[in-house]
Amino acid sequence: MSTRIRVAWRVAVFLLLQVLWLGGAEAQMPQQGTISPENWAAYTSRFLTSDGRVVDDANGGISHSESQGYGLLLAFLADDEAAFDQIWTFTKTNLWLRDDGLVVWKWDPRTTPRISDVNNASDGDLLIAYSLVLADRAWERPDLRAAAERITRAMERELFFEKDGAVLIRPAVDGFDGDDRPDGPVVNLSYWIFEALPVLGDLTGDGRWAELSKSGLRLVREARFGPDNLPSDWISVRAGLEPAAGFPPEFGYNAIRVPLYLLRAGHVSPALLLPFLDAMSAPDNRVPILNVETGEAKDRLTDPGYLVIGAALRCIFEGVPLDKALTTFRPTHYYPSTLHLLMLSYLAENHPRCR
């Protein structure tokens, strides 16, 4: 079967499934209660400390704005206001320290002082602000809304930039612009947390959030490198699009979450997602870390938190329900376990038949 015929067949199956049983509506605001108490208890007992720190156990036991932001979002999805407050208290006390209103990216229990790098990480800022808005809407907490607005306006001021008429977002305030590196500006497509962008745009009324969403979708369509047509983790936008110098030219641990973010935001389009399906639903149940220039696999991941992304794509596009081993949550390490819960939450709300 030719590639063109195979793609057309899969698109036809996808459209039929949308009509028959998967539902074709774009995702709305995420719903509370889509993470079960049992799964949430398993996650918090492994990764959440008593003082509200979400621990990256595969990275020296550090915490960072990403882990805190993910923790806040998961607590909202689990409808656990007490845990949300616990995580937010640690975050605002220990990481929300920058004068510009952004969040310091790293807290390390092994160093004194605990903050050894005061730079921010834009995905952490996005996750935190977005989760605060969701919590305010659910629990009527104007204090959380005020904090979200401060972080969001700081992102608009410090992180947005324009390139060739498109609004883009810096991965951090420092280190990625043309003045910082010869291939700059450099962006990271996995920092486009698509579900958060319209919510933060509504919060401040800044129309650039909608433009940011458009630019991210364009990057998904156009930043396709090598034989597998996949984005690298780090992308130079200096002159066209190419894998950024100084980083491995890999579809790796960052870009692996791009299809998850697309799905959660309701961007369930074959044109956007089929390359990810091909790469992440390998028959050997291993997700490859790929060199996007050569197509060679550097590593193959077997954690359920990575496998569930490809399995969900296969269900949505080909109607194959997930194996029970992937619908059953057992925490492994912080990062894949987080992605696992986010995908199970999405499926519970939008595609329950996949489970």
CA distances from 317 to 8, 15, 28, 142, 280 (A): 12, 8, 20, 41, 13
How many Å separate Cα 330 from the centre of its chain?
20
Note whether 232 and 292 are within 8 A (CB).
yes
How crowded is residue 109: how many other Cβ atoms within 10 Å of its Cβ? 13
Neighbouring residues of 294: CB distance < 8 A, sequence distance ≥ 6 = 226, 227
Longest Cα–Cα distance of the chain, Å, equals: 61
∠ CA(65), CA(287), CA(106), 5° rounding? Answer: 15
Is 123 an annotated catalytic residue?
yes
- Catalytic choice (56, 80, 123, 206): 123
φ, ψ of residue 26 to 5 degrees: the values are -70, 150
Rg (CA), the chain: 19
CA distances from 125 to 69, 88, 91, 155 (A): 7, 13, 11, 8
Distance CA 37, CA 144 (A): 24
∠ CA(227), CA(233), CA(234), 5° rounding? Answer: 110
Note whether 260 and 305 are within 8 A (CB).
no
Q: Which helix (H) or strand (E) holds 42?
A: helix 37-47
Distance CA 250, CA 253 (A): 9
CA torsion sign for 114, 117, 123, 125 is positive
Distance CA 330, CA 334 (A): 11
Active site residues: 123
